[in-house]
Structure 1
Amino acid sequence: MATPFLKWAGGKSRLVPMVAEGIAGLAVERYIEPFLGGGAMFFGLRARGLRAPAVLADANPELMATFAAVRDDPEAVIAALRPLAEAYLAAGREERRELYYRVRASEPEGRAARAARVIFLNRTCYNGLYRVNRQGRFNVPHGRYVRPLICDEANLRACAAELAGAELRCGDFAEVCAEAGPGDFVYLDPPYHPLSATARFTAYTDRAFGWDDQVRLAAAVRGLAARGAWFALSNSAHPAIAALYEGLRPLTVQMSRAINSRGDRRAPVEEYLFFGGRREKG
């Protein structure tokens, strides 16, 4: 069974059972995910039997290039990643740090090497974050893992098998959503509206996802409903989000967060899960 080969802040593995239950019985002809991230929902629903053709997209070009490399040639990605993993695990603390920053500063040629760089950094950086600066350069510091699983060869092959045939795109969510219609199920997991002024974390690309984007997303979701597509949407349990999707009844779910540097501040937080394009249950 394939599991996400990247760690991702806000990954939705724990929401998979709820989404699977929400779409049970629907004749889904195509699965669309405009905010792919680490792909937890895609891999999770595939493991639960959703075999519809998939369109997977994200605004992060490096992320989508990595998914394409894993899909098309997992053996080449493994061959490029394996020596990095072996060197890192054999090194001492300071040597690991030096290797990490050397790889972070590198710009390898060839898409397998570039994908291996992304996976290596993701598996060895602080908290598995993906964050870039205004120049689009990955800038997360080195992590402190003792034995990180960097090159999971069996899982990379399993992910490639699940991604085979999937259409991968890099682009804005509105363009992807505009193509959805009857028979399509769209799962949307945007950067969340922050619950406080200090909770903002939307720098997955060199352009932050702000309130204007949340408004654009709500318009795109209304378009999905108008065209007869089914959808599920995750976001923060914030009054502004509830107002933005007025008319949709959200489920409130408890989700853990592991971004804060202090373990005692990683308490579960409430999130909204909206369903639309079908009759609400209950």
Structure 2
Amino acid sequence: MLSRTHHENVAKPFLKWAGGKRQLLPEIQARLPADIDQCTTYVEPFVGAGAVLFHLLENYQFENVHIADINPEIILCYRVLQSSSQEVFRELQVLIDAYPVKEKNDTQDPQWFRNMSIEFIENGGKVSKIIDSLKISKSTYYSWKGRNDGPPCKKKKNKAINFFLKERRRPIFNSLREKWNQSISNLVRLSKAEKISRVAQTIFLNKTCYNGLYRVNDDGEFNVPIGSYINPSFPTEEQLIDVQASLQDVKIHHCSFEKCMDWVDGKSFIYFDPPYRPLSETSNFTSYTEGDFDDDDQRKLSNLFRELDSLSVLLLLSNSDPKETDPSDDFFDDLYSDYTIDRVRSARNISSKGKKRQKISEIMVRNYE
């Protein structure tokens, strides 16, 4: 097999993505084909944030690597970062520099709470929002506003500072989100510079929005509100350069998963990580493209799995485990009854409420021992 240039640092996902597999990598590694070193082609039709992709590129050598996703924005990110990581970082840095940060001297002025309140109200904010957000009474608010050093304890001070910081950031975030949404139908017509700028915007919005979600409405518009991260974790220039180094020679496709039939031979390994089947009506809280991935799509994928199996392609697939909430739900057990199904525990990275983040069962299906 052809050798890839080995770089010093391991590339990591540059986005936070629903269903991201960083936490599940040990379980995936333990279930890779024993003879994966003999595979000449690796295919990942639902690449998402790329945790598995980058892990395999760092540890194995393939002559051909194909990644795909139906989401045009994620594919644009990969294509641009494949050749222009430093340019993307420069654009990203401009956005980061314009974003207000929490300063150590925010509370050095004895009148800081009063001044921040006045600034918030002058910019269209309401006193009622301060009261509701800080969970205080109206009399407490005016007491804090009238006294030196504002709230009487450190915890309440931090909560107030974080509230005002978020409100300073909100118009910047909303303006960028609106600008981003104006180009959703023009991706193919964007110039190289515009594509670079858009990828930087996508990364910035992903890192500053609520819970790091990527969600669009029926019109394809990104509609996630601003998040509460005090110190958002943005990729560094070095990290984006590592991504570019890993993506060299990788073939990047914007297409549905069925297209992967065109890329395989008898020495191929495919990892399928489709949108997970929701475990409840409320768990399917995001839409990552304008269309949904329903049970009919899951069945189509299982049919493709069988067809690829008949071609001696090595296959590994992840999905939710319906038995987690309904022990009688045999949906996947029936679909993949001819294959090995392992159940593993995984902590979900994204939840509508942090306290609901917990380890749940997921399935891993494979057609080899």
Q: TM-score, normalised by structure 2?
A: 0.72
Specify the code of the residue in structure 2 equivalent to 1:5.
F
Say whether 1:252 aligns with 2:343. Answer: yes
Task: Please give the alpha-carbon distance, in whole angstroms, between the structure 1 residues aligned to 2:62 and 2:29.
Answer: 12
Specify the code of the residue in structure 1 equivalent to 2:281.
A
Task: Please give the alpha-carbon distance, in whole angstroms, between the structure 2 residues aligned to 1:155 and 1:208.
Answer: 32
Deviation for aligned residue 1:201: 4.1
Q: Deviations over 1:33-82 (max 9, x none)?
A: 00011001101222333444310100001110111111111111111111
Alignment CA distance shift 1:2-1:156 (3 Å): same
- Provide structure 1 residue ranges, at least 5 long, that are not aligned to the other structure: none
Task: Please give the alpha-carbon distance, in whole angstroms, between the structure 1 residues aligned to 2:28 and 2:259.
Answer: 23
Q: Deviations over 1:98-157 (max 9, x none)?
A: 111111111465110010111001111111111111111111111111111224111100
Task: Kindly indicate whether the alpha-carbon contact (under 8 Å) linking 1:32 and 1:187 is maintained by their aligned counterparts in 2.
Answer: yes
Task: Kindly indicate whether the alpha-carbon contact (under 8 Å) linking 2:101 and 2:231 is maintained by their aligned counterparts in 1.
Answer: no
Say whether 1:208 aligns with 2:295. Answer: no
Counterpart among 189, 192, 199 of residue 283 in structure 2: 199
Residue aligned with 1:73, SS? helix
Task: Kindly indicate whether the alpha-carbon contact (under 8 Å) linking 1:192 and 1:202 is maintained by their aligned counterparts in 2.
Answer: no
Larger Rg: 2
Alignment CA distance shift 1:177-1:269 (3 Å): farther
Say whether 1:8 aligns with 2:17. Answer: yes
Counterpart among 37, 43, 58 of residue 32 in structure 1: 43
Say whether 1:264 aligns with 2:264. Answer: no
Task: Kindly indicate whether the alpha-carbon contact (under 8 Å) linking 1:237 and 1:272 is maintained by their aligned counterparts in 2.
Answer: yes
Partner of 1:131: 215
Report which structure shows greater RCO (CA 8 Å, sep ≥6). Answer: 2
Task: Please give the alpha-carbon distance, in whole angstroms, between the structure 2 residues aligned to 1:263 and 1:74.
Answer: 32
Partner of 1:231: 315
Partner of 2:132: none
Say whether 1:23 aligns with 2:33. Answer: yes
Residue aligned with 1:14, SS? coil
Specify the code of the residue in structure 2 equivalent to 1:69.
V
Task: Please give the alpha-carbon distance, in whole angstroms, between the structure 2 residues aligned to 1:93 and 1:258.
Answer: 23
Deviation for aligned residue 1:203: 1.1
- Provide structure 2 residue ranges, at least 5 long, that are not aligned to the other structure: 1-9, 103-164, 184-189, 323-329
Say whether 1:93 aligns with 2:166. Answer: yes
Task: Kindly indicate whether the alpha-carbon contact (under 8 Å) linking 2:23 and 2:347 is maintained by their aligned counterparts in 1.
Answer: no
Say whether 1:185 aligns with 2:269. Answer: yes
Task: Please give the alpha-carbon distance, in whole angstroms, between the structure 1 residues aligned to 2:27 and 2:235.
Answer: 30
Task: Please give the alpha-carbon distance, in whole angstroms, between the structure 1 residues aligned to 2:178 and 2:168.
Answer: 15
Specify the code of the residue in structure 1 equivalent to 2:58.
A
Specify the code of the residue in structure 1 equivalent to 2:28.
V
Deviation for aligned residue 1:161: 0.3
Task: Kindly indicate whether the alpha-carbon contact (under 8 Å) linking 1:89 and 1:147 is maintained by their aligned counterparts in 2.
Answer: no
Alignment of 1:160-175 (within 5 A): 160-175=244-259
Residue aligned with 1:55, SS? strand
8-17 vs 25-34, which moves further: 8-17
Residue aligned with 1:77, SS? helix
Alignment CA distance shift 1:201-1:233 (3 Å): farther
Task: Please give the alpha-carbon distance, in whole angstroms, between the structure 2 residues aligned to 1:104 and 1:35.
Answer: 25
Alignment CA distance shift 1:18-1:51 (3 Å): farther
Partner of 2:160: none
Specify the code of the residue in structure 1 equivalent to 2:222.
F
Deviation for aligned residue 1:275: 1.2
Residue aligned with 1:106, SS? helix
Task: Please give the alpha-carbon distance, in whole angstroms, between the structure 2 residues aligned to 1:257 and 1:17.
Answer: 15
Partner of 1:142: 226
Task: Kindly indicate whether the alpha-carbon contact (under 8 Å) linking 1:7 and 1:38 is maintained by their aligned counterparts in 2.
Answer: yes
Partner of 2:187: none
Partner of 1:48: 59
Partner of 1:65: 76
Specify the code of the residue in structure 1 equivalent to 2:274.
P
Residue aligned with 1:233, SS? strand
56-65 vs 91-100, which moves further: 91-100
Q: TM-score, normalised by structure 1?
A: 0.93
Identity %, equivalent residues: 36
Task: Please give the alpha-carbon distance, in whole angstroms, between the structure 2 residues aligned to 1:200 and 1:5.
Answer: 24
Count of residue pairs brought into register by the alignment: 278
Alignment of 1:96-115 (within 5 A): 96-107=169-180, 110-115=194-199
Task: Kindly indicate whether the alpha-carbon contact (under 8 Å) linking 1:130 and 1:140 is maintained by their aligned counterparts in 2.
Answer: yes
Say whether 1:240 aligns with 2:331. Answer: yes
